[in-house]
Amino acid sequence: MQMSSFWRIFLLELTAFVRSRSLAILVAASTVWMFAAPFLFRGDGTSEGARQLVVHYSLGGVAALLAVSLLASATGAIARERAEKRLQLTLVRPVRYMTVALGKIAALSAAGALVLGLAALIEAARGDVGRPCSHLLSPVMQSPQDEALEMYEAYMKDPRTPEAVKKARKPVVVRLLAQRAFDRYETVRTNDVATWRFSLPRGTDDADIVKARMRFTNSYGMRQDVVGLLDFAADGAMWSGSVRNNTQAVVDIPLGASGRNVVAEAGMLSFRNNGKSAVMLRPRRDVNLLIPADGFGWNLLRAYVELVSILTLLVSFGVFLGSALGRPVALFTAIVSLAVAEMSPSVVEQYPDELEKDPVDAIGLHITRAAVETTHPISSLEPLARLAEDTCVETRETVRAVLSNMLVAPLLFAFLSALVIPRKTSD
Amino acid sequence: MNDDMVISLKGVSKTYRDFWLRPMVNAVDGLDLTVGRGEVFGLLGPNGSGKSTTIKMILGLLAPTAGSVSIFGLSPQSVEARARLGYLPELSYLHPYLTARETIMYYAGLCDLKRSVAAERTRELLKMVQLEDVADRSVAGFSKGMARRVALASALVGKPELLVLDEPTSGLDPVSTKEVKTLVKALAMNGMTVLMTSHLLADAEDICDQVMILDRGKSVAEGRVSDLGESLEEFFLAKVGNADEFVLADFLA
């Protein structure tokens, strides 16, 4: 890596961003939004609901503003210089094309990090940085994929299975079955007990205030009336609580500790249905355990790092598009890609049937599924949702996001840019 | 390759293609060209003769469709070759948000000069192009002549062995034109190899040791200016013909 050239290009891009007043405009718009957001959003009537909305949408608004504006700047970083013939003056110097792309990616990402950092500081200043957050744990279960493979033979032999499915390729059927397994409902009848196993973070002991989070909705999204008892037993320690709910879809149930001095690594959460009607739960989606983690301040820092990593990925993509295409086409492609990345998961979730017979719909579904898989590194991160509901933005996810979005993606897109820059420069 | 050979083009052709890769224009057609160390070489020709395309291939900004291009015996796209190159384009193409000093420092950084060395070199160049007084003003407000001088200083900041000048006196007033010509001659005296294009035959006649005349992508004449035995303008018109005048005569008729 040519550090001198890298810094020169980095500083040039950053200087242009500052002196063109782009940075000042973004800082001003973000600050106004951060202070205006609490007055714009009304929650569900509770102070907690209002706080969650403000945390989510104030930082989310700044992140969205930065995503669009940085994408516009990134697509122009090389394309505009090429159109105005300035790029050729850089390319005739002893600088590697990859260094040019990396310098621009780093500069725009740094500008984004700066603006987002100011917004995060405002959020930290008005929030309670010591407010506790929790690890969000899911039950330890067989993977939906393995469950689908086990179901496959029996499903194909079942006379009720449609002929069209029997003719489909195995990976298609397994994917459908895996989706079904992921969403599989477990019915807990009156006076029945359902049990789920959880692995606990190292060092969890019975002094920790454990909560169970349960989503009480049926397959039509209707809220259910629930009365029941919850026990969490782990290595001799016992946490207990009760639930009586007829208003909320998602309920956090505090579990009181037994007082025995035990450090546990795993435990069983059981739910006894004492209500009059059966309760339906999708264990993989609807049952979680909340174990105390650190505070809001650290969680905000991790969420900030994840958001910066997402912005870096978008900037890298934008710089690559600007290297390969003219600016208007690159910007259009980038915005469409962003919209597709945002909408595809819900499209695939709502129209999951790969046995679609209409060829146009089938092609559309394949493209959408490919978009979902390609954009998984972004869509799987939910830093703001977690930050708002005080569940921990896990360090390992943050590290993974940094590695993939701030290291691998910029290098990959800079490499691809280096391949196309000399081919496009003299058009 | 001979160590004294700085630029070598062998059988170089360049065909521009459309979106469907169909050939549109043969900009350069089987061109052979060599420029030796310390020479001031002029590439002359009417509009559309292939001068800019040839320069872009020498700079590594364009890949030839056929033939080979080398500078200092290296591929023009290699970092090693580009480290020995300076380029002044036809228009200055400066970054509008930088000052004159920052512009030269930026290109010095790209040439991998240490900061202290770059700062010293920038000072020298600003003095040379007589822009010391406005060194810290944004180049966006510069006149065309001032911008041209900043671009020339930027081209020289890496102490190149080969200087490629595309219409170096374009947009300059007579005084500045004379200064640039004097400067190029001085650089050549110090051993720098210069390749330049110009529409102004008088400029080429004043500066160049050797010229090549291009027409429709082909070399129609090449030789030392001192060996022509007639003015460059007469020689040029004899070789290329005054096509523009014919067109003008048709139009006026």
Are the Cβ atoms of A88 and B98 closer than 8 angstroms?
Answer: no
CA distance, residue B235 to nearest chain A CA (Å): 32
Sorted by sequence, the CB contacts under 8 Å of residue A197 that are 6+ apart come out as A139, A140, A141, A266, A267, A268, A269
Q: Is B68 exposed, middle or buried (0-12, 13-18, 19+ CB in 10 A)?
A: exposed
Q: Judge whether A1 is closer than 8 Å to chain B, CB to CB.
A: no
pLDDT digits (tens, 9 = 90+) for B207-251: 888 888 888 888 888 888 777 656 666 666 666 665 454 444 444
Q: Residue A89: its chain B contacts at CB < 8 A?
A: 87, 89, 93, 107, 154
Where among A248, A281, A314 does a domain terminate? A281
Return the beta strands (E) in B94-209 as ranges: 162-166, 193-197
| Residue B92 domain flag | no
Please name which of A327, A323, A324, A339 lies closest in space to residue A371, comparing C-alpha atoms: A339
Q: Judge whether A5 is closer than 8 Å to chain B, CB to CB.
A: yes
Q: Which residue of B has its CA nearest to A7?
A: B109
Q: Give B66's strand partners.
A: B13
Q: Judge whether B102 is closer than 8 Å to chain A, CB to CB.
A: yes
| Residue B20 domain flag | yes
Residue pLDDT tens, chain A, 427 long: 578 889 999 999 999 999 999 999 999 999 999 999 888 877 667 777 888 888 888 999 999 999 999 999 999 999 999 988 899 999 999 999 999 999 999 999 999 999 999 999 999 998 788 888 889 899 999 888 998 998 888 888 888 888 888 888 888 888 888 888 888 888 888 899 999 998 887 766 666 778 888 887 765 666 677 888 888 887 777 778 888 876 666 777 777 766 665 666 788 889 998 888 888 888 998 899 888 888 899 999 999 999 999 999 999 999 999 999 988 999 999 888 888 888 877 777 776 666 667 788 878 888 888 877 777 766 666 888 889 888 999 999 999 999 999 999 999 999 999 998 887 755 4
- Most confident stretch, A11-15, A285-289, B166-170, B188-192: A11-15
The confidence score (pLDDT) of residue B172 equals 78
Where among A239, A258, A281 does a domain terminate? A281
Task: Verify that A98 and A191 share a domain, yes or no.
Answer: no
CATH of the domain at A215: 2.60.120
Distance between CA A196 and CA A138 in Å, rounded? 9
Please name which of A122, A106, A134 lies closest in space to residue A38, comparing C-alpha atoms: A122
| Residue A44 domain flag | yes
Are the Cβ atoms of B60 and A426 closer than 8 angstroms?
Answer: no
The confidence score (pLDDT) of residue A355 equals 67
Q: Residue B114: its chain A contacts at CB < 8 A?
A: 4
Task: Verify that A233 and A341 share a domain, yes or no.
Answer: no
Q: Is A190 exposed, middle or buried (0-12, 13-18, 19+ CB in 10 A)?
A: middle
> C-alpha angle B83/B87/B92, rounded to 5°?
135
| Residue B158 domain flag | no
Task: Verify that A332 and A274 share a domain, yes or no.
Answer: no
ipTM of the complex: 0.86
Distance between CA B98 and CA B122 in Å, rounded? 14
| Residue A17 domain flag | yes
The confidence score (pLDDT) of residue A268 equals 87
Distance between CA A113 and CA A82 in Å, rounded? 26
Window 256-285 of A, Cβ < 8 Å to B: none
DSSP reduced 3-state for A367: helix
Please name which of A128, A267, A290, A297 lies closest in space to residue A209, comparing C-alpha atoms: A290
Are the Cβ atoms of B109 and A15 closer than 8 angstroms?
Answer: no
The confidence score (pLDDT) of residue B252 equals 45
Q: Residue A90: its chain B contacts at CB < 8 A?
A: 110
Q: Do β-strands A287-295 and A237-245 pair in parallel, antiparallel, or remain unpaired?
A: unpaired
The confidence score (pLDDT) of residue B253 equals 44
Q: Residue A20: its chain B contacts at CB < 8 A?
A: 97
Q: Residue B103: its chain A contacts at CB < 8 A?
A: none
Task: Verify that A301 and A277 share a domain, yes or no.
Answer: no
Q: Give chain B's mean pLDDT.
A: 84
CA distance, residue B51 to nearest chain A CA (Å): 14
Q: Judge whether B79 is closer than 8 Å to chain A, CB to CB.
A: yes
Residue A302 domain boundaries = 3-135+296-424
- Residue B68 predicted with pLDDT over 60: yes
Q: Residue B89: its chain A contacts at CB < 8 A?
A: 85, 88-89
Sorted by sequence, the CB contacts under 8 Å of residue A181 that are 6+ apart come out as A144, A147, A148, A151
Where among A281, A314, A345 does a domain terminate? A281
- Residue B180 predicted with pLDDT over 90: no
| Residue B36 domain flag | yes
Q: Residue A23: its chain B contacts at CB < 8 A?
A: none
Task: Verify that A7 and A44 share a domain, yes or no.
Answer: yes
pLDDT digits (tens, 9 = 90+) for B130-164: 888 999 999 998 888 889 889 999 999 989 999 99
Distance between CA A390 and CA A48 in Å, rounded? 11
Q: Do β-strands A250-257 and A287-295 pair in parallel, antiparallel, or remain unpaired?
A: unpaired
| Residue A169 domain flag | no
Q: Judge whether A191 is closer than 8 Å to chain B, CB to CB.
A: no
CA distances to A219, A345, B94 from A215, rounded to whole Å, are 12, 21, 60
| Residue A318 domain flag | yes
Task: Verify that A377 and A346 share a domain, yes or no.
Answer: yes
DSSP reduced 3-state for A220: coil
| Residue A174 domain flag | no
Amino acid at A289: L
DSSP reduced 3-state for A74: helix
Distance between CA A394 and CA A380 in Å, rounded? 13
| Residue A235 domain flag | yes
Q: Domain count for chain B, please give it.
A: 1
> C-alpha angle A323/A68/A414, rounded to 5°?
30
CATH of the domain at B232: 3.40.50.300
Task: Verify that A250 and A344 share a domain, yes or no.
Answer: no
Task: Verify that A275 and A320 share a domain, yes or no.
Answer: no
| Residue B119 domain flag | no
Q: Domain count for chain A, please give it.
A: 2
Are the Cβ atoms of A8 and B59 closer than 8 angstroms?
Answer: no
Q: Judge whether A233 is closer than 8 Å to chain B, CB to CB.
A: no
Task: Verify that A263 and A301 share a domain, yes or no.
Answer: no
Are the Cβ atoms of B102 and A5 closer than 8 angstroms?
Answer: no
pLDDT digits (tens, 9 = 90+) for A312-335: 999 999 999 999 998 899 999 988
Task: Verify that A273 and A315 share a domain, yes or no.
Answer: no
| Mutation target among A90, A93, A424 for the B interface, most CBs of B within 10 A | A93
Q: Give A251's strand partners.
A: A214
Task: Verify that A125 and A16 share a domain, yes or no.
Answer: yes
> Which residue in this structure is represented by tokens 């993977």?
A143
DSSP state of A405: I
The confidence score (pLDDT) of residue B246 equals 40
| Residue A165 domain flag | no
Window 85-144 of A, Cβ < 8 Å to B: 85-86, 88-96
Q: Judge whether B77 is closer than 8 Å to chain A, CB to CB.
A: yes
Window 50-89 of A, Cβ < 8 Å to B: 84-86, 88-89
Residue B58 domain boundaries = 1-84+164-170+197-253
Please name which of B221, B217, B243 lies closest in space to residue B232, comparing C-alpha atoms: B221
| Residue B76 domain flag | yes
Q: Which of A15, A425, A426 faces B97 most closely, judged by CB atoms?
A: A15
| Residue B215 domain flag | yes
Task: Verify that A117 and A14 share a domain, yes or no.
Answer: yes
| Residue B177 domain flag | no
| Mutation target among B69, B110, B164 for the A interface, most CBs of A within 10 A | B110
